[in-house]
Amino acid sequence: MGENALTFGTGLPAPEIGYHPNVPMDLYRQWDCCSNGRLQEIKRSPAHLRASVLNGRKETDALRFGSAAHMAILEPELFSVRYVAKTRCAAFTGKDERCRSIGSVLLASGDIVCRTHLRDHPINEVVTLLSEEDHKACQEMRAALARKRRAANLVGAAGAFELSIVWDEQVEVRLPEGEVVEVPVRMKGRIDHYSPDLERGTLLDVKTTADASEESFTRAIYAYGYHIQGGLYMRGAKALGLPATHYTILAAEKEPPFEVGVFRLTEGALDAGEQTAMKLLALYARCKHLNDWPGFPDRVRDISLPEWAWRATDDELQRLEEAWGL
């Protein structure tokens, strides 16, 4: 195996093992090593992970809004500098009338113009434009957080925002012929807010959601693998000797009234997440070691309904009997 056998060679090598503050997100994403994101992708199949890495991350409106809301909640002063709401194009037409289009490009001069009037003007590439609706929503989310004392105290605790961590895992892999090998894997993670002195070490993760109620967000934790991320990040922090006792998620709703829920994952949930992460990491390490990224198994599989669907079916049958006397 060569030096880069455990990377895809699609980005930059990760820095030295340790914690790295103030790393720009764009740079962090280029570090070519295993992450929670890659483990979430490989759950579907190794082929899907490989395609995702080689094709790159596609920026969507949802991702842009999530990044903006994230900064508005954690670092509102920086948000006010990095994000600006779109306004009507500042340019004038040949008839000396103000352009009626909504501007989509911020110029270095500070003016916002539409693509038609962009021409050769230098562009401000640091600031991101948001729709007026999204910009206002981000501000409302921050205001809602400020009204929650415990949530605001978590965000305001002394510590580091956007702390990037890098560590190594020695993964035991069983090869198809039965041989067991130990494979080193370079890992990375990005902690939204780390407070070493808060309750003997707290990792805070911010998630935007449609519904921050306990019942709904409990399902979201499992559906999106937030417990897997929690277990992995706690493991990484401890590997670096960082105090880590609690993993807390701040769930912020994206629509009015922009309610906020704060959830601290139990030790059992984190343990389940860590076990799942390490099983997925074993699959990742084996695929990298063999340079083989298989898709779905080539076989016919019997398939039934999930457990919840059986209960729903019973309820539906009963409703039909009662309504129509069937």
pTM, two decimal places: 0.88
> What is the rounded average pLDDT of the residues 57-69?
86
Q: What is the pLDDT of residue 6?
A: 56
Q: Tell me the C-alpha distance between 98 and 232, whole Å.
A: 54
Q: Is residue 84 part of a domain?
A: no
Q: Tell me the C-alpha distance between 201 and 220, whole Å.
A: 25
Residue 324 is encoded by which pair of tokens? 């129509």
Residue 286 has pLDDT above 90, yes or no: yes
Q: Is residue 198 part of a domain?
A: yes
Domain that holds residue 275: 18-56+148-290
Averaged pLDDT score across all residues of the chain: 93
Q: Is residue 214 part of a domain?
A: yes
Q: Is residue 72 part of a domain?
A: no
Residue 287 is encoded by which pair of tokens? 């695929």
Number of domains in the chain: 1
Q: Is residue 201 part of a domain?
A: yes
> What is the rounded average pLDDT of the residues 52-57?
86
Q: Tell me the C-alpha distance between 257 and 147, whole Å.
A: 12
Which CATH number goes with the domain that contains 172? 3.90.320.10
Distance of CA 25 to the CA centre of its chain: 12
Axis crossing angle, helix 226-239 with helix 267-290, rounded to the nearest 10: 80
Q: Is residue 25 part of a domain?
A: yes
Percent of the chain with pLDDT over 70: 98
Q: What is the residue type of 59?
A: E
Start-to-end CA distance of the chain, whole Å, equals 67
Q: Using the 8-state DSSP alphabet, how is residue 171 labeled?
A: E
What lies within 8 Å, CB to CB, of 75 at 6+ separation is: 161
Q: Is residue 165 part of a domain?
A: yes
Q: Is residue 42 part of a domain?
A: yes
Q: Tell me the C-alpha distance between 129 and 127, whole Å.
A: 7
The answer to whether the CB of 68 falls within 8 A of the CB of 119 is no
Residue 111 is encoded by which pair of tokens? 């003016």
Q: What is the pLDDT of residue 2?
A: 36
